């Protein structure tokens, strides 16, 4: 990657981290806690995504 592209990408990512940090902190503090059943429901969907992506990677 060209040095200016690296500098530009780093600046963009740095700006995102600075912008997101205070909001992320609030979200982390104020998010309701999920039960094990809630996490199980979410995990099923995310495991499905993982399986599907692996399938796509094997297909190309």
Partner 1 sequence: MFDNMTSFNTTIAAPAVDTSKVLRNTYSLLAMTLIFSALMAGLSVMMQMPPFTYLLSVGGSMLLMWFVLPKTANSAKGVGVVFAITGLLGFGLGPVLTNYLSLPNGGQIVATAFGGTGVIFLGLSAYALTTRKDFSFMGGFLMAGMLMVLVAALANIFLELPLMSVVISSVVILIMSGFILYDTSRMIHGGETNYLLMTVGLYLSIFNIFVSLLQLLGFASGDE
Residues that bind partner 1 (CB under 8 A): 1-2, 4-6, 8-10, 12-17, 19-21, 23-24, 27-34, 38-39, 41-42, 45-46, 48-50, 52-53, 56-60
Give the DSSP per-residue string, 6-17: HHHHHHHHHHHH
Query: In angstroms, rounded to a whole number, what is the distance separating the alpha carbons of residues 39 and 33?
Result: 10
Instruction: Please report how close the Cβ of residue 5 comes to partner 1 at its closest, in angstroms.
Output: 6
Instruction: Please report how close the Cβ of residue 12 comes to partner 1 at its closest, in angstroms.
Output: 6
Alpha-carbon torsion (52, 53, 57, 60), positive or negative: positive
Instruction: Please report how close the Cβ of residue 36 comes to partner 1 at its closest, in angstroms.
Output: 11
């Amino acid at each position: 990657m060209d040095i200016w592209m690296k500098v530009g990408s780093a600046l963009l990512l740095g700006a995102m981290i600075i912008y997101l940090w205070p909001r992320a902190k609030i979200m982390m503090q104020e998010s309701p806690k999920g039960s094990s059943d809630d996490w199980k429901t979410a995990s099923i969907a995310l495991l499905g995504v993982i399986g599907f992506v692996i399938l796509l990677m094997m297909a190309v």
